[in-house]
Structure 1
C-alpha cells in the first residue's frame, strides 16, 4: 500500500502558522514588500561595478521561504511593479527599468517563487536543505541579473559575471549561511512550542 500523497498547499511555511486567512495574507504580502524595500535601501555603491551591494537579496529569499510561493512571489512582484511605475524604491533610489541592475529585481520575483515552493517541500527545516534552497534562490537572481547587465552595458557574459556576480559571492555566502541558521532554528522553536 502506498503512502497518501501530501498536498503542497497543506505543508505549512512559517507564515501559515499565523492565525487568519485573507487579511493575514494581505498584511503578510505587504509586509514582505516593505521588508524587501527597506533592505533594498541598505545598499552600498561599489566603485568597480554599477551593481550596488544590497541586503534586498537576503530579504527576498527570506520572504519567499517564510511566506511561501504565492505571498512571497506577490511581495517581490509588488516591489517590482511599484518601482516600474516610477516610485524610487529600488537601491540608490532607482525606479523604472532602464538601469544596470534591473534584471536582478526581475530575478527577485522568480527567486521568491522558487524558494517558496522549496519551503513548501520542507526545504527550510534543516541546515543543509536550507543551504540548497538559498543557493538556488541566489542563482536564480543571478540568472536574470547577469544577462540583463551584459545587455544593458553592451559587454560579454564573462565581463558581466565579473561585474555582477563575482564581487558579491562572499556577501551571498554570508547571507546563505545566515538563512541556513535562522530558518531551521525558527522551525525548531515552533516545533517545541507546538508540543
Structure 2
C-alpha cells in the first residue's frame, strides 16, 4: 500500500461490506444483502488490488470469529452453503477494479458492465459452492437446478437494481475522489 489513505479506504470498504451483511431481506437459502453493493464500489473506487484486499480483510475478520457475516462468523463459516458468495466478493472486487483500470473513460454503461462482470463471479462461486456444500458435507441431496434457482434466480433481481444504483453513485463519486487526489487514471462521464 502506498500510504495511510489507502489503508483507511481498504478498512472502510471492509467495514461497509460487513455493515451490508446486516442490511438484508431474508429469502430462502440465500438472503439478499447489500454486501455486493459495497464490494462493487470497493472494486471501482479502490482498483483491483486494494478492492480485493478490502474483501479479503472482510472475510478474514469474519473467519477469525467477528460476527460480520449474515449469520455470524468463525472458521466454521466455511461450511455454510453461502460461503462461496464471500469468495466471490474477493474475485468480483478484483475483476471490477481490473476493468476500471483498463478503461480510459468510464461511462455509466461501462460501469454497469464492469459490475455485471464482477457479479458473474459472485454467482459462479456462490451457486457452485451452494450445490457442493449441500451435496457433499451437509448430506442433503439437491439438484444443480435447485442451487441455481435459489442461489441465482431468486437473488439476481435485487442485485441488478443494486448494480444500476452503484453505477450511478460511482459515476458521481469518482470525479470527486479524483479531484481530491484519492484516485488517479480515471475519466468519467454519464
TM-score band, normalised by the shorter chain?
Answer: 0.7 to 0.9
Q: 1:51 to 1:123 in 2, by over 3 A?
A: farther
- Equivalent residues of 2:23, 2:33 under 8 A apart: yes
1:162 aligns with 2:149: yes
Offset of residue 98 of structure 1: 1.3
What is the aligned partner in structure 2 of residue 129 from structure 1? 110
Range that drifts further, 151-160 or 116-125: 116-125
What is the aligned partner in structure 2 of residue 147 from structure 1? 128
What is the aligned partner in structure 1 of residue 30 from structure 2? 51
What is the aligned partner in structure 2 of residue 14 from structure 1? none
Range that drifts further, 79-88 or 101-110: 79-88
- Equivalent residues of 1:123, 1:133 under 8 A apart: no
Which blocks of at least 5 consecutive residues in structure 1 are unaligned? 1-19
TM-score between the two structures when normalised by the length of structure 1: 0.81
- Equivalent residues of 1:124, 1:183 under 8 A apart: no
1:68 aligns with 2:55: no
Offset of residue 123 of structure 1: 7.2
Query: Which deviations, in whole Å up to 9, do the C-alpha atoms of 1:28-65 show, x marking residues without a partner?
Result: 1111111111111112221xx21111100111011111
Q: d(CA) in 2 for partners of 1:92 and 1:64? A: 24
1:29 aligns with 2:29: no
SS in 2 for 1:125: strand
- Equivalent residues of 1:118, 1:133 under 8 A apart: yes
Q: d(CA) in 2 for partners of 1:188 and 1:80? A: 29
Offset of residue 93 of structure 1: 2.3
Larger Rg: 1
Alignment length, in residue pairs?
Answer: 173
Q: 1:36 to 1:192 in 2, by over 3 A?
A: closer
- Equivalent residues of 2:45, 2:174 under 8 A apart: no
Q: d(CA) in 2 for partners of 1:191 and 1:104? A: 30
Query: Which deviations, in whole Å up to 9, do the C-alpha atoms of 1:148-191 show, x marking residues without a partner?
Result: 00011222221111011101121011011112222223345567
Q: Which of these residues, 37, 40, 60, is aligned with residue 21 of structure 2? A: 40
